[in-house]
Structure 1
Amino acid sequence: MNTYWLLSIGLSMSISVAVAHEGHANTTQAPAVQPLEVKGTHDAQTYFTDTLLLNQQGESVRFYSDVLKDRIVVLNVIFTHCEDACPLITRKLKEVREAMGEEAAKKVTFISLTSDPLRDTPQVLAEYARKHGADSANWIFLTGTQANMDLVLGRLGHFIESPEQHSTQLIAGDVAHKQWSKIRPDAPVPAIVQRLKLLSMPIAGR
């Protein structure tokens, strides 16, 4: 079987779980925005899976087909009872969205997945989004059964035993063209904006 193009992200993300919630970020290693080389041709839907999740409106969605497919995305993991890193990163992503300007921001889908699905119901996620100004149309919050969230988070490199153990690293990607970057949570807002705008450009212009 060919090496799937995102498996390298999964492996590198699993390493970065050590740079987890308590530490917020490793600021002494790795550049703030780190492009990842794309290798292999394995099917994206097979890798990401169409696991059923729930968005903050309580709607059932398939992770790949309804959330990721053909989109420019930035993904992060949160849990709503967090009082340190999660709200800070949510605020930073809100600042990123504002700094991009409405037209550019509409090209990017922001995706926040909970690491605490037992407590983070759709209603709880919707309230969290409102509280933090993250309730824009293209910002999706996802929850589901524990088993389904474990599967999806595992595909993103988050192999965790408790909500607090998730990595705070961001993943940005152009799903259709298999272009991906890891982004440290302490990366400056302009650096994140630049990467997302680059991913949003037509492929020939990159």
Structure 2
Amino acid sequence: MWRRWGGVFAGLALFMTAAQAHESSTLATAASVQVAPPTTGTHDAQQYFTDTLLKDQDGNEVRFYSDVLKDRLVLLNVVFTHCKDACPLITRKLKEVRDAMGEGVAKQVVFITLTSDPKNDTPEVLKTFAAKHGVDGPNWRFLTGTQAQMDLVLGRLGHLIPSPEQHSTQLIVGDVATKRWAKIRPDAPVDAIAQRLQFLTLPVAGR
């Protein structure tokens, strides 16, 4: 079972670990990654992503797979709140993406921002960061936990990082229910990111 999901997400881990912190802006691309469904469905997905207990910006305890990912269309990114360059810029850009999608699509997408610096990024700090950048709406969750909890969750997403500053700025979008995933460079145009999310909202034959 473990080997199945390890293979399924090998490509996801490879492209995420290859992207280092605050990479320079070059080509604006959005490359798709096809992820095969697990043979036994939700149970395998839960085991792979883990149901690690985290806290959101309101201090609520949430299980990473069951409460945050399961059956949702998601966009995930990683920040640390004392970052002065890429993190606030990308956060504001994702707000533009949400606005560009229009209300009908935006309400189907859950934005998930995970901290790479859980020692400093408490729920209160994340809530202040979200409010500062105007992204404190109901469909945007900021997540933190202990160092061990965040290391486990970020590792499953391919963010294997020795320090907060070395997190990848790559975005991950996915339809968890249909196992459709894509990576997107953060310097891709706002409309291109919005269109990728809109594509994932389209129904899949046999879903």
So what's the TM-score if we normalise by structure 1?
A: 0.92
What is the match of residue 78 of structure 2? 77
**2:190 corresponds to which residue?**
189
2:29 to 28, 32, 40: 32
Q: Counterpart of 1:39 in structure 2: which amino acid? A: A
TM-score by length of structure 2 reads: 0.92
Greater CA drift, 4-13 or 166-175? 4-13
The amino acid of 1:6's aligned partner reads F
Residue aligning to 2:46: 45
Query: What's the Cα RMSD here?
Result: 1.7
Match of 2:121 in 1: 120
- Please name the residue that 1:97 is paired with: 98
Residue 38 (structure 1) shift = 1.7
- Equivalent residue number for residue 8 of structure 1: 11
The one-letter code sitting in structure 1 at the alignment partner of 2:90 is I
Could you tell me which residue of structure 2 aligns to residue 109 of structure 1?
A: 110
Q: CA deviation at 1:6?
A: 2.4
1:24 deviates by 4.4
Contact (CA 8 Å) 1:4, 1:40: kept in 2 or not? Answer: no
User: Tell me, which stretches of 5 or more residues in structure 2 are unaligned?
Assistant: none
Is contact 1:4-1:39 (8 Å) kept? no
Runs of 4+ in 1 over 3 A off after TM superposition: none
Q: Contact 2:37/2:178 (CA < 8 Å) preserved in 1?
A: no
Q: Does the aligned pair in 1 maintain the 2:37–2:179 contact within 8 Å?
A: no
Aligned residue-pair number: 200
- In structure 2, how many angstroms separate the alpha carbons of the residues matched to 1:24 and 1:60? 35
| Shift, 1:10, TM fit | 1.5
1:4·1:41 contact (CA, 8 Å) conserved in 2?
A: no
Tell me the CA shift for residue 7 of structure 1. 3.0
